[in-house]
Amino acid sequence: MATVSYQQATRFYPGADAPAVDGLDIDIADGEFLVLVGPSGCGKSTSLRMLAGLEDVDEGTIRIGDRDVTGLAPGKRDVAMVFQSYALYPHMSVAENMGFALEMAKVPKDERIRRVREAARILDLESYLDRKPKALSGGQRQRVAMGRAIVREPQAFLMDEPLSNLDAKLRVSTRSQIAELQRRLGVTTVYVTHDQVEAMTMGDRVAVLKDGVLQQCDTPLGLYRRPANAFVAGFIGSPAMNIREFTVTDGHARIGELDVPLSRATHTQLAREDSDRVLLGFRPESVELVGPTEGYPVAVRLVEELGADTYLYGSVIGAAELNGPDIVARIAVDHTPSIGDTVHLRVRPGQEHAFSPVTGVRLE
Amino acid sequence: MSTSLAAAPAATSRRRAPEPPKRTAAERWKRRGPLLPALLITILLTQLPLLGTLYYSLRSQNLLRPETNGFAGLSNYATVLGDEYFRAAVVNTLVLTASTVVLSMALGIAFAVLLDKKFLGRGVVRTLLITPFLVMPAAAALLWKHAMFNPLFGMLNWLLSVFGVDKIDWVSQFPMPSIVLMLTWQWTPFMMLIVLAGLQSQSTEILEAARVDGAGAWATFRRITLPHLRRFIELAILLGSIFVVQTFDPIFLITQGGPGQATTNLPFLIYQTTFRAFEVGEAAAAGVIVVVGTIVIATFALRVISSLFQEET
Ligand SMILES: Nc1ncnc2c1ncn2[C@@H]1O[C@H](COP(=O)(O)OP(=O)(O)O)[C@@H](O)[C@H]1O
Ligand SMILES: [Mg+2]
């Protein structure tokens, strides 16, 4: 077990005009579960493969513990990887698959058998040890891939979307099993996913990437409460945060009939950028229903009743700035309006987020 | 669940696939009719020659002595199997086939592994490596006879003279190795192509998993790649054997089966029996024996091919 750190790690694919990963800086603590998340093509897999040694590091360094592993072969880094396709060796039995790395490391045979047994017990694979991978279900194959990683007792686990080939229900249960297993083993883990729910539920910390650039690395709650920029704000949380651009006059953002005051800090930062506009956002769950004289009148266009929650989709009446996509609000189940109704909504004070319209950076 | 009530009556009459609709005889013939010409041609082209051969193999039939022609029972088979020339030809065929197939397979794997890597000019190299397979066998045989094996101006001797080796008369001193060398040159591309197809169908993630698991290049090849290639190699060996058993052109053009009987293989022996000794009956019997032998090999080949498609999901 060890710390892992990316220091200005950069990867250019030959022929591409922009780096796939650009100056990545992350320090991962010993035993930490770090999730790399972002939209497809943002460089998550590339970052992970750089750590595994499967992809060259063109600039910067990668360290595992106190070793600089930047130029080291994958087999010498003492990391175990779980692939999206599991990449099980098709002609080897489950036991041989799990024992292969130990065999390559010349671990004595009885030690090898003991460790494979132990991993199979943890993962509930004991009765499948003699089967070939093609005689296993998807979930069992996934567990074998996990087993292949844990028998090695490596410095770090690397996982690239290990749940994306499972059906939705199995994905949820396996998600918690992996997180629980990682806590129990205490092995530093870097986990790649494009699914922000997976990221938020599994990670000690979550690193959000976009176009190869790290946007923010924080605890799940930190990301949720204080997104560092408009991209993170829109990416984390489901349904996504409502973000719109407004004109600023006299230190207020004018929305429909009402002025929304902006904090002094926000105001000075906007002034520094010489901008008379601001991005304001609020989460669907930061909204509450209020009486007819308060808040904003909203024409309800769609109601989604999920049982536990109800989501409203609608447009604010009399606010031209809010035209375009509907705003989304979560309301209590017992106050569900019908489509076509007008309701009054208010954002709970202190739960709005302001971002610079130029750089997208969070304003306090 | 509530559905159990509704489902109860249905459960007594089990659901099964609907019967395919019955067709009348006329309707069936209307469907098959258009296929008949193709079927007839196929039968004519493939089965009649075989039946003809079977017929002749049971007759005493010498073109020089038509008065002895007549039904001979299995005596042709007895003669052929008792003939020491035939047995020598069987041994020659086995030696020729086995050495050619093994050598060209070893070279084929080596070249395929090379071609599986990316390097400058790979397309050109690949085309050049495939070329021997595209040259007509007769042309290739003449090329080797004159340009390569000739003791005075052949390239092999010229090449060896660089290392101070004296002139060798390849075809008379080493007749069998010469033929094997030429056939290996011709069949390596075939083996290489099949093995290359196998290599390129291998998942890169599995190779990467092996690298992360700490397997070196050799261990990866032996433990991961070779098992994956096994089916492809078996297939190539079986198909290659079937073809190499039938080798005729280079024997006819380079050695004439000699010196003595040193390179007489089964096809050349059958040719000699028919067109030198005019023993049509015996030649036919030998031909039937070869066909039976080849069918046995082909059955294994077909089994391998079909299992190839069931392999790995
Ligand atoms: N082998 C490659 N050669 C060239 N470009 C690549 C290669 N692999 C990935 N890329 C590019 O690098 C970027 C990041 O890819 P990747 O790390 O796979 O994204 P993801 O976050 O979806 O895992 C993408 O734009 C992709 O097109
Ligand atoms: Mg990916």
ipTM: 0.86
**Tokens read off for A353:** 């987020």
Is A122 an interface residue toward B (CB < 8 Å)? no
Q: How far apart are CA A198 and CA B234, in angstroms?
A: 46
**Tokens read off for A194:** 């494009």
Nearest by CB to residue B209, choosing from A73, A81, A105, is: A81
- In terms of pLDDT, which residue wins out, B313 or A131? A131
Q: How far apart are CA A284 and CA B303, in angstroms?
A: 63
Helix (H) or strand (E) holding B7: helix B3-12
Is A40 near ligand 1, meaning CB less than 6 Å away?
A: yes
Q: Could you read off the pLDDT of A28-62 as tens digits, one per residue?
A: 999 999 999 999 999 999 999 999 999 999 999 99
What is the model's pLDDT at position B208?
93
Task: Identify the three-state secondary structure at position B254.
Answer: helix
What is the model's pLDDT at position A191?
95
What is the model's pLDDT at position A44?
94
Helix (H) or strand (E) holding B185: helix B175-200
Q: Name chain B contacts of A104, Cβ cutoff 8 Å.
A: 213-216, 219
What's the Cα-to-Cα distance from B46 to each of B37, B41, B52, B282, B300, rounded to whole Å? 14, 8, 11, 21, 21
Q: Looking at residues A133-138, what average pLDDT do you find?
A: 90
3-class secondary structure for A24-51? EEEEECCCCEEEEECCCCCCHHHHHHHH
Q: Looking at residues A186-215, what average pLDDT do you find?
A: 93
On whether the CB atoms of residues B101 and B240 are closer than 8 A, the answer is yes
Q: Name chain B contacts of A53, Cβ cutoff 8 Å.
A: 211-212
Q: How far apart are CA B221 and CA B191, in angstroms?
A: 18
Is A45 near ligand 1, meaning CB less than 6 Å away?
A: yes
Q: Beta A213-218 vs A242-249: how paired, if at all? A: unpaired
Q: What are the sequence ranges of the domains in chain B?
A: 83-278
Contact flag A75-B312 (C-beta cutoff 8 Å): no
Residue A9 pLDDT more than 60? yes
**Tokens read off for B159:** 């090449």
Q: Which of A319, A306, A170 is nearest to A239 (CA)?
A: A306
Backbone phi, psi, residue A343, to 5° = -120, 165
Is A42 near ligand 1, meaning CB less than 6 Å away?
A: yes
- In terms of pLDDT, which residue wins out, A86 or A249? A86
Q: Could you read off the pLDDT of A317-353 as tens digits, one per residue?
A: 877 666 677 889 998 888 788 888 888 888 888 888 9
With bands split at pLDDT 50, 70 and 90, how would you rate the model's confidence at A209? very high
Nearest by CB to residue B215, choosing from A104, A134, A148, is: A104
What is the model's pLDDT at position A1?
66
Helix (H) or strand (E) holding B306: helix B280-310
Q: How far apart are CA A14 and CA A56, in angstroms?
A: 11
Q: How far apart are CA A306 and CA A62, in angstroms?
A: 45
Contact flag B216-A52 (C-beta cutoff 8 Å): no
Task: Identify the three-state secondary structure at position A156.
Answer: strand
Q: Could you read off the pLDDT of A224-245 as tens digits, one per residue?
A: 999 999 999 999 988 899 998 8
**What DSSP line would sit under B46-58, residue for residue?**
IIHHHHHHHHHHT
CA of A46 to the centre of ligand 1 (A): 6
The ligand whose atoms approach the alpha carbon of A21 most closely is 1
Q: What is the dihedral of CA A333, A334, A337, A343, to 10 degrees?
A: -100
Contact flag B205-A83 (C-beta cutoff 8 Å): yes
Q: Could you read off the pLDDT of B239-267 as tens digits, one per residue?
A: 898 888 888 888 998 888 878 888 888 88
What is the model's pLDDT at position A156?
93
pTM given for the model: 0.80
Which amino acid is it at B78?
Answer: A
Nearest by CB to residue A83, choosing from B209, B219, B312, is: B209
Q: Indicate the CATH number of B83-278 among 1.10.3720.10, 1.10.287.130, 1.20.5.510, 1.10.645.10.
A: 1.10.3720.10
Nearest protein CA to atom 18 of ligand 1, as residue = A45
Task: Identify the three-state secondary structure at position A277.
Answer: strand
- In terms of pLDDT, which residue wins out, B164 or A221? A221
What is the model's pLDDT at position A322?
65
Is A261 near ligand 1, meaning CB less than 6 Å away?
A: no
- Ranges in chain B, pLDDT < 50: 1-12, 312-313
Order of strands, edge to edge, in the sheet holding A67-68? A21-28, A4-11, A59-64, A67-68
Task: Identify the three-state secondary structure at position A316.
Answer: strand
Nearest protein CA to atom 6 of ligand 1, as residue = A13
